[in-house]
Structure 1
């Protein structure tokens, strides 16, 4: 009975991350650190191996290439951006306050992950980075298109250019403006004045008036 009790206690203990988990996280952590100091094209597998304290064979056990490392970093960032954006894109009505709040959260994420986002949003992005960018932008444009079409159908927003075209222009404006605002280092805070301007431009582009004015009828 004592042995069974001891076994039960042992099996119920909280297990920590495995060595494999720790090594993979060390590679990702090193990639984030390096990206803040040098451009992607100057980062090598040797840099990642050295920073993570592992061997090259160990690196290739977890990642097929340097690009694959940054793809792994980007996916959760893209999910975070979508979560923030969807808070407004799926909300009822056209509150300017809600729009401004969502843009503020988006700007915080942009500054937090700036070095990585500057890489993926570059015009010369290729391979998996380009695929990640297209996937993230495509999701934003798709949800914005749905929001515009919904508000037009309900009479909250006036008719205008094709919803998909307007959504694509809005997303391009936001991503470029936020990327420029975080500066060369990718970590500068986004000025409140810029967020005010962006919320006004986006609101008026969809509703013809500010979202608050449109909501009031």
Structure 2
């Protein structure tokens, strides 16, 4: 079936979705800061007022994209975490690193959108997303509770930054990076457990 002519009159929900999809492609290709409402309109062969009738700004488009994609991503992450076997003390978080890392790599476009630019509002969205990922990661109860927030911050920041880098740099070998990251976190958790035991 041939693709729909973007200039064709569409139902409102379809046009909105078309604008979101075209914007996502442009934000991923060029970065958020480099895309204007005019670029989106030209890509779709529609007028700028048509885009503005759905979204008041590129920021509102990015916000709508992140709402939908991050919600979906977090919902897809739940079964992955639930499917992992119960692990011995000290290994829960480190053994989840590789599966979560691979999962994030599969979400290249969403990761790229999350890193595509924007002001403080979008940095706050990125931080909120990472906090939600952290909330879902199990930590060993033997680790001191006061270390949990710092350890989760380190793990989620490493996962996010390295998955984004690996998704956009063909010179990086994701499997090797996932293994190195797991080993790095495992060593840190072991050190914390040993420190607590002394």
Q: TM-score, normalised by structure 2?
A: 0.72
Instruction: Give the C-alpha shift of residue 99 in structure 1.
Output: 4.8
SS at structure 1 position matched to 2:30: coil
Q: 1:16-61 deviations in whole A, cap 9, x for unaligned?
A: xx61122112211211222233232221111112222333332222
More displaced 10-residue stretch of structure 1: 187-196 or 26-35: 187-196
- Distance in 2 of aligned mates of 1:189 and 1:108: 15
In structure 2, relative to structure 1, the CA distance for the partners of 1:160 and 1:204 (3 Å cut) is farther
- Distance in 2 of aligned mates of 1:97 and 1:164: 18
Larger Rg: 1
- Distance in 2 of aligned mates of 1:160 and 1:168: 14
Q: What is residue 104 of structure 1 aligned with on the other side?
A: 102
Q: TM-score, normalised by structure 1?
A: 0.67
- Distance in 2 of aligned mates of 1:173 and 1:84: 20
- Distance in 1 of aligned mates of 2:60 and 2:132: 21
SS at structure 2 position matched to 1:62: coil
Instruction: Give the C-alpha shift of residue 141 in structure 1.
Output: 2.6
- Distance in 1 of aligned mates of 2:133 and 2:95: 20
Q: What is residue 64 of structure 1 aligned with on the other side?
A: 56
Structure 2 unaligned spans of 5+: 1-9, 192-198
Q: What is residue 32 of structure 2 aligned with on the other side?
A: 40
Alignment partner of 2:183 out of 174, 181, 200:
200
What is the number of residues matched between the two proteins? 176
Structure 1 unaligned spans of 5+: 1-17, 210-217
Q: What is residue 136 of structure 1 aligned with on the other side?
A: 129
In structure 2, relative to structure 1, the CA distance for the partners of 1:99 and 1:141 (3 Å cut) is closer
Q: What is residue 167 of structure 2 aligned with on the other side?
A: 182
Alignment partner of 2:158 out of 143, 153, 173:
173
